[in-house]
């Protein structure tokens, strides 16, 4: 046990963050990539409206020798929301969509439902009332949520008909994937095409994104393999599939150079894929309820940045623009973040800061997160040791059953506390994180396993003590 604890302490010390270096992007990658644990990273930089740098490091899959390049497609995650917002704005300009019309005007699925009064503007700006937890919920392996078939998005949205917003529409801001799933279906209905075909023809091809696709339920060999955190390492996703049903919220598969072309288009001030006025609207706060989010983009009016990050199983990304300066950067990694260990935020943010000439002080100490994760790993071991102790001292444990109220309290109260603690660990904590346990299992399988192990072993320990206490003959005095 001493050796295990020593190894864990050394792991914490080794993972403590250091100040990110100033200087070229490549120097930043040299310093930050090892701590992130990602197999590969790709980036591209726009300066004065032109792509001035692009690079990559690492491999498409851990253990392989296929190198990542600036043209390697990665799953971009929630950067995809800006593509969906752009598609909606194209339909607005074509006179097919009124931003302040209720969604039920366009999608019969929502006629007469609580969500039917939500407007298109509210969906775009995350003021619909749908919560983060609702957007991250795993709704089971039902037919509606199967990712294959050109009707995948239709089935997914139809399954939302009875899901009421968590708050009254137009009263609060809360980021929710549901908003953009619904908007994706809106694009399908009004265009008469599936989401994949529309976005490919109306955005990817006009922008010149030749190394990009929209998630279509297929496996694409040219795409980097995603890796999820697994106890200080990252393991590759089996099959590396794409999901049609979540494409509008996070399914644009794009290379760093292609996303740089996309950011160029967003900042060029010209009427092309969509009007310059619509681009400006997308990159400005959507209203008083949404002072830091436009349509598909986060907005920081203090430093003039417009940005969006992306988190998908096995992938993380960051796209940042400074429109007034014609500067932008995109960073893609094929590894998801662990808890305190193997996080990618400092790599992505440090590369972005170096590329754009911005100040960045690092993510700060991750020690609390690291200790939390280590605690979740050590608690099950502690419970197992306690069970061994209870068996070796079973005479004393059995004596508690005949020791009156204090003895009974000593035996039964731990069962209550461990059941409550188990509920907190597997139900309340995930809710506070904005994602149910099933979703955490997809993004951070090691954390999900640690949570379940902690909850179960605590209850098993309490039950084991009771079994020992009430079975067998008490030890003789």
Tens of pLDDT, residue by residue over 307-329, are 999 999 999 999 999 999 999 99
**Contact yes or no for 304/313 (Cβ under 8 A):** no
Look at residue 3 in the predicted model and tell me its pLDDT. Answer: 39
Residue 4 confidence (pLDDT): 36
Q: Tell me the pLDDT tens digit for each residue of 414-436.
A: 999 999 999 998 888 888 778 88
Taking only the tens place, the pLDDT of each residue in 143-174 is 445 556 789 999 999 999 889 999 999 999 99
Go through the chain and tell me how many residues it has.
Answer: 477
pLDDT value, residue 401? 85
Assess whether pLDDT exceeds 90 at residue 22.
no
Average pLDDT, rounded, for the chain: 91
Strand residues in 250-303 grouped as ranges (E):
252-254, 298-300
- pLDDT tens profile 85-94: 999 999 999 9
One of 78, 131, 191, 317 is an active-site residue; which one?
A: 78
Q: State how far the Cα of 296 lies from the Cα of 83, in Å rounded to an integer.
A: 8
Buried b (16+ CB within 10 A) or exposed e, 138-173: eeeeeebbbbeeeebbbbbbbbbbeeebbeebbebb
Q: What is the pLDDT of residue 173?
A: 98
Strands 252-254 and 74-75: antiparallel
pTM for this one? 0.90
| Range of lowest pLDDT (158-162, 255-259, 273-277, 296-300) | 158-162
State mean pLDDT over 443-465.
Answer: 96
Q: What is the mean pLDDT of residues 444-452?
A: 95
- The percentage of the chain sitting over the pLDDT mark of 90, rounded to a whole number, equals 84
Residues 402-419 pLDDT 10s:
888 988 999 999 999 999
Q: How far apart are the first and last CA of the chain?
A: 34
Alpha-carbon gap, residue 263 to 66, rounded angstroms: 27
Average pLDDT over residues 389-410: 90
CA atoms within 13 A on the CB side of 288: 2
Q: What are the tens digits of pLDDT across the range 333-388?
A: 999 999 999 999 999 999 999 999 999 999 999 999 999 999 999 999 999 999 99
- Convert the pLDDT of each residue in 204-255 to its tens digit: 999 999 999 999 999 999 999 999 999 999 999 998 889 999 999 999 999 9
Q: Is 78 labeled as catalytic in the residue annotation?
A: yes
pLDDT at residue 403, as a whole number: 84
When pLDDT is cut at 50, 70 and 90, the band that residue 23 belongs to is low
């Amino acid at each position: 046990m001493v050796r295990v604890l020593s190894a864990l302490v050394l792991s914490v010390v080794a993972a403590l963050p250091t100040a990110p270096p100033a200087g070229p992007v490549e120097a930043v990658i040299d310093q930050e990539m090892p701590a992130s644990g990602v197999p590969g990273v790709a980036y591209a930089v726009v300066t004065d409206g032109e792509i001035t740098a692009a690079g990559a490091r690492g491999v498409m899959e851990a253990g392989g020798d296929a190198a990542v390049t600036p043209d390697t497609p990665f799953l971009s995650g929630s950067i995809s929301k800006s593509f969906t917002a752009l598609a909606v704005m194209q339909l607005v300009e074509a006179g097919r969509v009124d931003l302040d019309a209720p969604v039920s005007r366009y999608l019969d699925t929502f006629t007469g439902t609580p969500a039917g009064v939500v407007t298109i503007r509210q969906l775009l700006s995350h003021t619909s009332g749908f919560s983060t937890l609702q957007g991250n919920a795993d709704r089971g392996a039902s037919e509606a949520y199967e990712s294959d078939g050109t009707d995948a998005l239709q089935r997914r949205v139809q399954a939302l008909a009875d899901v009421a917003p968590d708050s009254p529409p137009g009263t609060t801001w809360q980021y929710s994937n549901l908003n953009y799933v619904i908007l994706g279906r809106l694009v399908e209905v009004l265009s008469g095409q599936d989401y994949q075909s529309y976005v490919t023809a109306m955005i990817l091809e006009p922008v010149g994104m030749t190394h990009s696709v929209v998630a279509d339920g297929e496996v694409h060999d040219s795409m980097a393999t995603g890796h999820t955190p697994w106890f200080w390492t990252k393991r590759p996703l089996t099959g590396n599939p794409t999901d049609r049903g979540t494409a509008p919220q996070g399914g644009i598969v794009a290379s760093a150079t292609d996303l740089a072309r996309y950011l160029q288009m967003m900042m060029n001030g010209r009427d092309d894929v969509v009007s310059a006025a619509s681009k400006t609207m997308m990159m400005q706060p959507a209203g008083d309820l949404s002072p830091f989010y436009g349509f598909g983009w986060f907005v920081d009016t203090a430093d003039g940045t417009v940005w969006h990050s992306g988190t998908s199983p096995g992938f993380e990304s960051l796209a940042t623009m400074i429109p007034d300066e014609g500067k932008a950067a995109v960073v893609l990694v094929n590894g998801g973040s662990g808890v305190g260990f193997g996080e990618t935020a400092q790599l992505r943010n440090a590369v972005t800061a170096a590329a754009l000439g911005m100040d960045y002080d690092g993510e700060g100490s991750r020690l609390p997160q690291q200790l939390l994760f280590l605690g979740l790993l050590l608690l099950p071991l502690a419970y197992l040791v306690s069970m061994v102790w209870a068996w070796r001292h079973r005479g004393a444990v059995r004596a508690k059953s005949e020791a009156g109220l204090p003895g009974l309290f000593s035996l039964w109260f731990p069962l209550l506390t461990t059941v409550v603690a188990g509920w907190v660990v597997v139900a309340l904590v995930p809710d506070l994180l904005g994602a149910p346990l099933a979703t955490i299992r997809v993004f951070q399988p090691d954390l999900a396993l640690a949570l379940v192990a902690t909850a179960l072993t605590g209850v098993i320990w309490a039950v084991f003590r009771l079994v020992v206490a009430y079975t067998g003959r008490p030890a003789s005095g």
